Amino acid sequence: MPISRRPRAFAARLDSRIESTPLARHLLRAYLAALPTGDRYRDIAELLLGELFANAVQHSDAPTDRLIEIRFALTDDRLRLEVHDAGTGRPDLRTPTPTDEHGRGLFLVDELAERWGCCPRAGGIGKFVWALIAPSPVPALLAV
Q: Which of 90, 22, 81, 104 is nearest to 60 (CA)?
A: 90
Query: Are 21 and 52 spatial neighbours (Cβ–Cβ below 8 Å)?
Result: no
Average pLDDT taken over every residue of the chain = 87
Dist CA 93 CA 118 (whole Å): 11
What's the whole-model pTM score?
0.86
Q: Report the pLDDT averaged over residues 116-142.
A: 86
DSSP state of 138: P
Question: Is the confidence at residue 103, as pLDDT, over 80?
Answer: no
What is the model's pLDDT at position 130?
97
Q: Which of 92, 90, 91, 87 is nearest to 61 (CA)?
A: 87
Q: Report the pLDDT averaged over residues 84-107.
A: 81
Q: Is 103 left (phi over 0), alpha (psi -120 to 50) or beta?
A: left
Dist CA 16 CA 23 (whole Å): 12
**pLDDT tens digits, residue range 10-38?**
999 999 999 999 999 999 999 999 999 99
Please give the domain boundaries of the chain with CATH numbers for all domains. Answer: 9-92+104-143 (3.30.565.10)
